[in-house]
Structure 1
Amino acid sequence: LVAGRETHLITECPRPKESWHDGKPFTSKDVKFTIDLAKNKASGSLFAARLGDIASVEAPDDSTVIVKLSKPNASFLSILSQVLILPEHALAGMPPESLATSTWWSTNPVGTGPFKFKKYVTDQYVELAADDDYRGGKPKVDVLINRYFESPAAAVAALRAGEIQFTYVEPDDAASFKTDSNFKVIEGGSYVVNYIGLNQQVDLFKDLKVRQAIMYAIDRNAIIESLYGGAAKPANCGFVAPQLVPEGLETYAYDPAKAKSLLAEVGWDKINGDKPITLLTYYGSPQAANVMAAIQSMLSQVGINVVPRVVDTPTYNGIVYKGGTPDWNAFPMVYAGLQNGPNPAGINPGLNKSQIPPAGFNTMRIKFDDLSAALDKALGETDASKLDAAWQDVCKVMNKDLPWATLWEANRYGVASNKLKDFVWTPAPAGGPYAAHPEAWDIQ
């Protein structure tokens, strides 16, 4: 991999003699096809906004890809590393707008990893078979099955019964497994900051004092201790990595009296009073329900009447990303989360005024000039020695202007059976592993 700072040029070379699971060669044309598709908004790609600085992609031969950027973007390599390469020969004939709903994904997908697709049983499981020709050697196990469960409790029951060997768990369940010698608990920071989004198309939340009042009204430490078992840390901006969080931030320590005073200053009783305000979320776990109930109770004590509404992710996305003029009152407030590391640029599409849908996923329609300027400066900084300071400036603006009411970063837990051998699973932001090496996994 070669990167040129002045030309904003990246050259990527696929491994020689690499093949897809169907035997077709993997070449630079697959990389070009994937990048072009990922930055095409019509495909529904979550990377379209993040890859917006790409000016051109070229594949001059089978082992070289040249990507030129329209301007410097220090986060580009990190973003590109998250894009999974797709087979051009299998998907090139498909309209981009049909890709997300294509049956290809559930009938005959191909990749280049240690396991290849065998079958998918709707809403039950995906079965993968070992690829004997995998470049890293034949996997130790012949089959991997990824099962789906209706609830976390059902997955935990299956794990205890020996029906599965690994699952994510809630903090309460993790505690019970820590004392069981038959299992190993894997714990790590989620790098996802949970927050209350405050829709800037709704007049109620345009006044900074209202946003400050919401922060002071929520006892974050009490929720962390009682509902997360202490396995979370408060977030006073969109970041939690120490090098990105400057000293001297306002901590918004729990102060309901101050919250009431701020609301009185803006005349809350007259502009809204106890009228219900929807608090929309896609988090459907029992723990999330308890968190929402706690937030509802705390806000009610200062005179803000929120009504939680839980929907599935497709419904949530349909509400907040709706084209034209959405029903702003359907999502005046949201309880959500956004990945904030290890690449801090991950929050840009959710906060920059240039990323309002359909350009990005700034669903709260935040148009704060100082915040967007700080984000743009950090994104364009190419001097590695200045990057942390640039992102600290973003943190300072978030802490002062409160585009979100930031809450916390919670730990993520996985539990593995001790029957698994050489099992590597390092928790990563938003789910999945940083490192997995499933070709090395074995089971007694």
Structure 2
Amino acid sequence: MKKKLISILLATAMVASCVACGKSDDSKKSDSTEKKASSEQTLVFNLGSQPSSYNPDVSLDDSTTMMSQNVFSGLLTMNNNEEIIPDLAESWDVSDDGLTYTFKLHKGVKWHDGEDFTSADVKFTYEKIMESEGFLASALSAVDSMECPDDNTFVIKIKEANAAFVSNLAWYGSAILPQHLYDTDEDWTKVEAATSKPIGTGPFKFVESKDGSSITLEKNEDYFGGEPKLDKVVYTIVQDPDTAYESFMNGEIDYLQNVPSSHVKELQDNSDYNVGCLSAGRRYQMCFNMKGNDTGKLAFRQAIAKGINREEISKKGTAGLQKVAYGFYPPFLEWAYNDKADIGDTDVDGAVKLLEDAGYTKDADGYYLHLNLEVFNYGNYEDCAKVIKSQLKEIGIDVTVNPLEEGAWGEKVSSGDYDLCMLAGFQGPDPDNLSTRVGTDGAMNVSAYSNTKVDELLTQAKSLTDQDERGKLYKEVQQILSEDLPLVPLVEYAGYYAAPSNISGIPFIDTDVNDIAPYNFCKIEMK
């Protein structure tokens, strides 16, 4: 399994948003009045954990990724509609043979410490990622050469046509780093810029961090995208979503992520709040440890799949807000989605028969086996896991649900010391994302799944330019996954965000704000 395991649930995922509205009580109106009266605009946003690093190209937990979009910039990025848009690059051209990419960069960009940003920083970053095996290293293996004709031009030549190349440059782990701070012999996770003083070109500058409590940023008046309207951004670290919700309702948090399912409707019905929804292209999945003594057996995985009732998980685990996930790739890219590859209907008797035919017998407690299920301690993961626990009990399997903070989850799963785990994360913008999840040694292949045919199909699909032909190969991959079952699809993701109606410019809520990354706060204004 790849040593740098990542959890990408919400972070830099760029998606279509849905908007609803909602009324606050008088205490909240009072808080809002006090903020409007203040000459300094400070936005408080909740994170579920302390960022594991300030180097966003090596640590891609959700908290690191969310914060990094305000401190760093990429060559390209994606907006809340999953569209690739310029960032440090003003524009780019691709040669007729699809092998040469020429990027024109913004002029006059400066790092937060006043040093000039140039094309050399881009070249250095990509070389550093490859050298240090960052998340983007696999995608950058397609590169044949990189050149900097001048300070504002960057040229990449790739070895062969690659339909997913540009989308990878706009995806996770692609922040451009300052060469003058990272060009050392020191491990890139241990330089000062990665541990305590991140320097980027983004809309906000790092001020301070109170470990486990808060992170403060101040606006970058020289931001190439325009001076931010906010003066400060404070990330408050609150692990429990219900506690975060109470803080939001008390006016202590201005912009809330992970609104608990039980409170979504009341906020949508309250005109003093605006609510946005992060959805398409991501889903909850339960992954098997393919190297486990029991979870590594196909018959056992088939039994688990038959014991799962996704409709019940949706209803009881998410209050019906997260719909059933069918198939082995989200349906948001219809041309790549195989609607015929699925796990089938719930069949408790069939599941029990599979277990007994495989030689399992019940112990004194009436169980064939006892398993652990590792889940994140936020969102609806734990609620869904409790439903799964109840369902698998019906087929004679005892499940212990272990809710963990992201860092602890990553360590547990990457060590291989687990039975089952749940994760989500954006699976676009290109179906080549499957390579990271089910390709041998893929960075998010938490199951440690390996199938030579799958690897061959994924490699072939990436090299094609005809969408229909690519789609056929991805559909074949999904059919194989439905037979091998390294994972089980559960429910489509739906994460809700909320803010008082006096706050505007939030991409997930104001869906017309689509020319920046979704966690870039440069256009947020508190009126």
TM-score between both structures, scaled by the size of structure 2: 0.74
The corresponding residue for 2:428 is 341
The counterpart of 1:219, out of the listed 301, 306, 309, is: 309
The corresponding residue for 1:304 is 397
The counterpart of 2:481, out of the listed 398, 414, 419, is: 398
2:322 is the counterpart of 1:239: no
**CA RMSD across the alignment:** 2.8
- Quote the Cα distance in structure 2 between the aligned partners of 1:122 and 1:375: 41
Q: Aligned-pair distance for 1:228?
A: 1.0
Change (3 A) 1:423 1:275: closer
Q: Aligned-pair distance for 1:198?
A: 1.6
- Quote the Cα distance in structure 1 between the aligned partners of 2:217 and 2:490: 39
Change (3 A) 1:136 1:61: closer
The corresponding residue for 1:183 is 273
Contact 2:312 2:387 (8 Å CA) reproduced:
no
- Quote the Cα distance in structure 1 between the aligned partners of 2:162 and 2:209: 39
Aligned residues: percent identity?
23
- Quote the Cα distance in structure 1 between the aligned partners of 2:96 and 2:390: 52
Structure 2 counterparts to residues 305-344 of structure 1, below 5 A: 305-322=398-415, 328=416, 330-344=417-431
Change (3 A) 1:277 1:251: closer
Unaligned runs of at least 5 residues, structure 2: 1-91
- Quote the Cα distance in structure 1 between the aligned partners of 2:326 and 2:246: 33
- Between Structure 1 and Structure 2, the one with more helix by share is 1
- Quote the Cα distance in structure 2 between the aligned partners of 1:351 and 1:55: 26
How far does the alpha carbon of each residue in 1:215-267 deviate from its partner, in whole angstroms, 9 at most, with x for none? 11011111101221222232321323250323433451122122122223322
The corresponding residue for 1:325 is none
2:127 is the counterpart of 1:36: yes
Q: Aligned-pair distance for 1:396?
A: 2.3
TM-score between both structures, scaled by the size of structure 1: 0.86
2:374 is the counterpart of 1:276: no
Contact 1:187 1:427 (8 Å CA) reproduced:
no
How far does the alpha carbon of each residue in 1:341-383 deviate from its partner, in whole angstroms, 9 at most, with x for none? 2322223122112x16xxx342322122332222222222222
2:103 is the counterpart of 1:12: yes
Structure 2 counterparts to residues 193-204 of structure 1, below 5 A: 193-204=283-294
Structure 2 counterparts to residues 282-293 of structure 1, below 5 A: 283-285=376-378, 287-293=380-386
2:452 is the counterpart of 1:362: no
Moved more, 253-262 or 63-72: 63-72
Question: Partner amino acid for 2:479?
Answer: K
The corresponding residue for 2:198 is 109
Contact 1:108 1:117 (8 Å CA) reproduced:
yes
The corresponding residue for 1:151 is 240
Change (3 A) 1:53 1:319: farther
- Quote the Cα distance in structure 2 between the aligned partners of 1:362 and 1:437: 28
Moved more, 65-74 or 408-417: 65-74
The counterpart of 2:249, out of the listed 160, 163, 170, is: 160
The corresponding residue for 2:168 is 79
- Quote the Cα distance in structure 1 between the aligned partners of 2:121 and 2:394: 56
Q: Aligned-pair distance for 1:112?
A: 2.0
Change (3 A) 1:76 1:406: same
Q: How many residues align?
A: 425
How far does the alpha carbon of each residue in 1:243-296 deviate from its partner, in whole angstroms, 9 at most, with x for none? 032343345112212212222332233999623222233x11373222222212
- Quote the Cα distance in structure 1 between the aligned partners of 2:96 and 2:472: 20
How far does the alpha carbon of each residue in 1:90-142 deviate from its partner, in whole angstroms, 9 at most, with x for none? 221252x3x33444246432222332222223222222222223334332232
Change (3 A) 1:286 1:404: closer
- Quote the Cα distance in structure 2 between the aligned partners of 1:138 and 1:165: 21
2:147 is the counterpart of 1:58: yes
- Quote the Cα distance in structure 1 between the aligned partners of 2:401 and 2:436: 25
Contact 2:313 2:491 (8 Å CA) reproduced:
no
Change (3 A) 1:247 1:278: closer
Q: Indicate the SS of the match to 1:377.
A: helix
- Quote the Cα distance in structure 2 between the aligned partners of 1:73 and 1:276: 45
Q: Indicate the SS of the match to 1:268.
A: coil
Q: Indicate the SS of the match to 1:222.
A: helix
The corresponding residue for 1:140 is 229
Change (3 A) 1:251 1:351: closer
Change (3 A) 1:261 1:115: same
- Quote the Cα distance in structure 1 between the aligned partners of 2:425 and 2:197: 32
2:210 is the counterpart of 1:121: yes
Q: Which has the higher contact order (CA 8 A, sep 6+)?
A: 2
Change (3 A) 1:170 1:94: farther
2:350 is the counterpart of 1:258: yes
Q: Indicate the SS of the match to 1:376.
A: helix
Question: Partner amino acid for 1:159?
Answer: F
The counterpart of 2:507, out of the listed 424, 433, 437, is: 424
The corresponding residue for 1:412 is 495
Q: Indicate the SS of the match to 1:35.
A: helix
